[in-house]
Amino acid sequence: MCKLNSNQVQIDGATIASALKSIAALEQASNPTVAANLITAANALVAATQNWQTGDTTVEIEAAVSSVQAVLAVIPQTAPYAPFVAIASDALVIILANIQTQDKQTGDQLKDALLVKAQIEAQPDNPWVGVYKIKRLPFESFRSALVGAWNKEADKHPELNVPKL
């Protein structure tokens, strides 16, 4: 793991937003209001992450993540696409913890990973937190782990027609 930089945050934010928009498309049939709110929240996440620079505060990203988590929280865990909601929720927790610890990161893979892990464990509860844990191999980027988890679920559930990331 290298020390977090703004380019990583921008790409991670866009990747998560893409996942959220896929969830919104699945939610559209049963609850168009939730779908619309999720798209709005995903766009806010993209805007917040696109503007973030290394050393900036995390206030805007925290607000965007909180908005997304609030929308995800109303999606029932019995939804057929629940694994995707759980993956997106976990991704949000990870990106937020990574950004919140950026000022303490040194570029030492083990130390930075432990720092991010501690921050993840300190995040507020929501119904989806901990339902799915994105597993990452050593030297694998967060984005690769997110994409791998998402695509694995897409392969398991072809009936949902969820696009791969």
Position 1 pLDDT exceeds 60: no
Written as one string, the DSSP assignment of the chain is -PPP-HHHHHHHHHHHHHHHHHHHHHHTTT-HHHHHHHHHHHHHHHHHHHH--TT--SHHHHHHHHHHHHHHTTS-TTSTTHHHHHHHHHHHHHHHHHHHTTTT--S-HHHHHHHHHHHHHTSPP-TTTTTS-----TT--HHHHHHHHHHHHHHH-GGGTPPP-
Least confident window among 18-32, 38-52, 142-156: 142-156
Domain ranges of the chain: 6-160
pLDDT digits (tens, 9 = 90+) for 82-97: 999 999 998 998 888 8
Q: How many residues does the chain have?
A: 165
pTM: 0.86
Q: What is the average pLDDT score of the chain?
A: 88
Residues 50-78, mean pLDDT to the nearest whole number: 90
